[in-house]
Amino acid sequence: MDIQLEKKKGLRPKHYGYIALGLLLLVAGYQLIFASSVSTFRTERDKLTIAEVTDGKFDDFITINGNVAPIATIYMDAYEGGRVTDKLIEEGAMVEKGDIILKLENMNLYEQILQSESNLALKQNDLRSTKLNFDSRLVEGRKSLATASTELQRLKRNFEQNQALYDEELISKEEYLKSKEDYELSKKQYDIVKVQTENDEELAETSLTGLDADLARMQKTLGMVYQRLDHLNVRAPADGQLGFLDAEIGQSIQQGERIGQINVLTDYKIEATIDEHYIDRVVRDLTAVLDRNGEEYPLRLRKVYPEVRNGKFKVDLVFTDEKPSTIRTGQSYNIKLRLGESSDALLLPKGSFFQSTGGQWIFVVGPDGDEALRRNIRIGKQNSRYYEVLEGLQDGEKVITSNYDSFGEAEKIVLK
């Protein structure tokens, strides 16, 4: 008789496989749920801006804001310091070159003028005295030379006569030798007087020339001091409008201090600032257009300032043809600055998403319109309306262009 054996309860090897499979499915499901909660953001469609990517013409320009300024501004600095005694012209008035705007007084400068005049007078007196002394000495020298010449001729004649008489033995040898010695001494004296007279004339010429040069320098110095005196009258350096004047009666002005400016209104320019993003593309002679009341006025970029402040750099533009008839200093205009020629491109409408992504990625809406997935893109040029898309998008695709700050690190946007 066979004995029936009772089956042992417990896990068999095949049960381990089922358990492992169950655990794997549980972990996968947990990860899927966790991942969905981190990378998915749900929002209402009406709160977003959705735009379509299209093929079209990309106009390579940027819109900038500029202010009207005079074509040139000439600053007025005080050539001389002093106290303001009179203010003849007020700010905003039209002036002509040379018009006196302010009058100053400077007591120290007046003292310098008196001292210079006194020194010049003393120098002139010294020169006159020196000339008189030289003239007197030259006259005496010429008189001595004339006397020596006459005496030489007389003694020469006497010597020649005595020589003839001595040859005929009509006079003694002593008388002959005496006349010869007198003649030779007179000749030496004449040579000495002649050399001295010539030296005196040369010295007089050299000395008087030096004195004349000193006198001329002093006169020039005095003229410069008088010119400084004239600089106490602050004059307009050019025709134009007195833009501002920082001076009041009784105020002390320091030498070199800026006291005003003249705005030259023969023409105007536009001063504008541009984002530093474009600094490598903005160069001189680019063209621009100013639109006012439906009329366009052409401009040329005349100057690019190299300094960047607060992320912007400054440029100057000038009109190349007509300008608005009512243009005034300080007016503000929107200007289209052309950076290049138009070209065919894939166009992405501009939006605030760029501040969050830097143009490196964007959320692309799916065909059914229920969700949007993050996708990497590459953007090229941009103007006031569009970005030029180089990679990552296709014609007809729709993207979210509104701000992404509320999306966090989401990889997918679910649209309700």
| pLDDT for position 388 | 92
Q: Helix or strand or coil: residue 4? A: coil
Quick check: 92 pLDDT over 90?
no
Phi, psi of 61, rounded to the nearest 5 degrees: -145, 165
Separation between Cα atoms, residue 114 and residue 117, nearest integer Å? 5
| pLDDT for position 284 | 92
Sheet holding 371-376, edge to edge: 40-43, 412-415, 371-376, 361-365, 398-400, 50-52
pLDDT in tens, 237-284: 988 889 888 889 999 999 889 999 998 888 889 999 998 888 888 999
CATH code assigned to 76-105+232-253: 2.40.50.100
**Number of CB atoms found within 10 A of residue 227's CB:** 11
86-90, 150-154, 188-192, 198-202: least confidently modelled range: 198-202
Phi, psi of 237, rounded to the nearest 5 degrees: -80, -10
- The answer, as to whether pTM is greater than 0.75, is no
Domain boundaries, the chain: 39-58+343-415, 61-68+264-338, 76-105+232-253, 108-230
Separation between Cα atoms, residue 115 and residue 119, nearest integer Å? 6
| pLDDT for position 401 | 93
pLDDT category of residue 38 using cuts at 50, 70 and 90 = very low
| pLDDT for position 292 | 83
Separation between Cα atoms, residue 412 and residue 365, nearest integer Å? 10
Q: What DSSP state is assigned to residue 188? A: H
Q: Are 390 and 379 in contact (CB under 8 A)?
A: yes
pLDDT (average), residues 196-215: 80
DSSP string, 54-108: EEEEE--EEEEEEEEEEEEEEEEE-SS-EEEEEE---TT-EE-TT-EEEEEE-HH
Quick check: 19 pLDDT over 70?
no
| pLDDT for position 14 | 55
pLDDT in tens, 292-347: 888 889 999 999 998 999 999 999 999 998 888 888 888 899 899 988 888 899 99
Sheet holding 252-253, edge to edge: 233-235, 100-105, 82-87, 252-253
pLDDT (average), residues 119-135: 80
pLDDT category of residue 376 using cuts at 50, 70 and 90 = very high
CATH code assigned to 39-58+343-415: 2.40.420.20
Largest CA distance in the chain: 213
Torsion of CA 407, 411, 415, 416, to 10 degrees: -80
Q: Are 88 and 102 in contact (CB under 8 A)?
A: yes
| pLDDT for position 29 | 56
Give the CB-side neighbour count of residue 69, counting CA atoms within 13 A.
15
Give ∠ CA 129-133-138 in degrees, rounded to 5.
145
Quick check: 3 pLDDT over 60?
no
Q: Are 101 and 236 in contact (CB under 8 A)?
A: yes
Alpha-carbon Rg of the chain, whole angstroms?
Answer: 52
Phi, psi of 350, rounded to the nearest 5 degrees: -70, 150
pLDDT (average), residues 129-144: 84
| pLDDT for position 1 | 44
4-8, 128-132, 289-293: which is most confident: 289-293
Kindly report the average pLDDT of the chain as a whole number.
85
61-68+264-338: CATH class = mainly beta
32-36, 135-139, 201-205: least confidently modelled range: 32-36
